[in-house]
């Protein structure tokens, strides 16, 4: 398997993770013009699984270090396989709840609450003093990114009607954030450590195998979680399963698959980079994706063109704190 050994390469991969996690939702935005998010989500889940398999049979089976994908899968013990699979199940539920919360309460509440909670909980849950670097600087960086997310919420609130915020949307956002903050730990716990000779711990998984099991958990659990929100959506009428075939076309299906592949590129790079960067830093940088999503909204989708006076100042402040937070998270490993 291909192994990342330098911190600089790991940080670059984490930045790509941010870009992917903050950009995949553009595919949902494109698809939602023609059908509801539940239908898009089937193709999204398929894209996640397909990309994990492509990665496992390429980068996961190349090189002389560690183990190739098939060899790694054969020697893995059940607890490791189950832990990575469970991570996918938990993430899928959190992601569906977050999308539903955005539908109810709007971006002003759902995304900052959900992802903000996930970032703080995730960094704390994945922190390891032996590998995560300077704790004070790391958590100062997390605080700056969290502050940027709060400012982002204030900016969106200026734009969004206040009556979109409901108790149901807030509750969904909180539950989504709590779940999303813990899923990464299950995937990380399934992975083995590498010796100085690049020999992978027996019984545990390589990053590439862990991603496949995670993706399988996401895909299979979609038949439960997504089916529930189709039959009993939080808002609106039930979504007929037949609409996936009658209302879909090749373009819509490919857009959804692309969305899943883009998200999983970010997830894969985050997991692969964690060996050199630590799980806390890798996850913390990745969850800065909120700001990437804000960049798309501001400059591409022009979501703030009708915003009231003073919003641009908030956006500028948001990006400043975001950049400061990223720098602090990155240098925490070096000091």
**Closest C-alpha among 211, 189, 182 to residue 122:** 182
| 240 in a structural domain | yes
Output the average pLDDT for the chain: 89
| 135 in a structural domain | yes
Range of weakest confidence among 37-41, 44-48, 114-118, 207-211: 114-118
Split into its structural domains, the chain has a count of: 1
225 or 168, which is more confident: 225
SS3 call for 290: helix
Which distant-in-sequence residues (6+ apart) come within 8 Å of 307 by Cβ? 155, 158, 159
| 24 in a structural domain | yes
| 2 in a structural domain | no
- Its domain, for residue 201, covers 7-331
Q: Which residue do the tokens 């807030």 mark?
A: 170
Taking the model in full, what pTM does it have?
Answer: 0.89
136 or 196, which is more confident: 136
Which distant-in-sequence residues (6+ apart) come within 8 Å of 224 by Cβ? none
| 1 in a structural domain | no
pLDDT score, position 106: 64
Segment 76-112, tens digit of pLDDT:
999 999 999 999 999 999 999 988 887 777 666 677 7
| 67 in a structural domain | yes
């Amino acid at each position: 398997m291909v192994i990342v050994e330098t911190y600089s390469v790991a940080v670059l991969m984490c930045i790509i993770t941010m870009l992917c996690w903050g950009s995949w939702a553009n595919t949902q935005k494109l698809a939602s013009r023609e059908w509801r998010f539940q239908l898009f989500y089937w193709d999204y889940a398929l894209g996640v699984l397909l990309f994990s398999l492509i990665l496992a049979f390429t980068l996961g089976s190349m090189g002389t270090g560690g183990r190739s994908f098939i060899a790694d899968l054969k020697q893995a013990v059940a607890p490791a396989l189950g832990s990575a699979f469970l991570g996918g199940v938990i993430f899928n539920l959190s992601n569906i709840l977050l999308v539903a919360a955005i539908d109810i309460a709007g971006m002003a509440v759902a995304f900052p609450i959900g992802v903000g909670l996930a970032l703080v909980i995730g960094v704390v849950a994945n922190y390891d003093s032996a590998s995560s670097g300077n704790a004070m600087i790391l958590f100062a960086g997390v605080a700056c990114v969290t502050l940027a997310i709060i400012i982002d919420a204030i900016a969106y609130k200026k734009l969004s009607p206040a009556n979109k915020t409901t108790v149901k949307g807030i509750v969904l956002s909180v539950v989504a954030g709590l779940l999303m903050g813990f899923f990464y730990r299950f995937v990380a716990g399934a992975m083995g450590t590498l010796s100085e000779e690049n020999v992978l711990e027996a019984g545990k998984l390589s990053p590439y195998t862990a991603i496949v099991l995670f993706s399988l958990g996401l895909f299979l659990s979609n038949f439960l979680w997504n089916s529930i929100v189709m039959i009993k959506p939080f808002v609106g009428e039930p979504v007929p399963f037949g609409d996936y075939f009658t209302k879909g076309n090749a373009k819509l299906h490919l857009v959804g698959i692309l969305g899943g592949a883009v998200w999983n590129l970010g997830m894969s790079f985050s997991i692969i980079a964690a060996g050199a960067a630590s799980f806390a830093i890798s996850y913390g940088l990745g969850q800065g994706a909120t700001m990437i999503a804000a960049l798309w909204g501001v400059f591409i989708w022009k979501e703030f063109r009708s915003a009231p006076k003073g919003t641009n100042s908030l956006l500028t402040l948001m990006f400043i704190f975001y950049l400061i937070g990223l720098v602090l998270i990155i240098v925490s490993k070096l000091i």
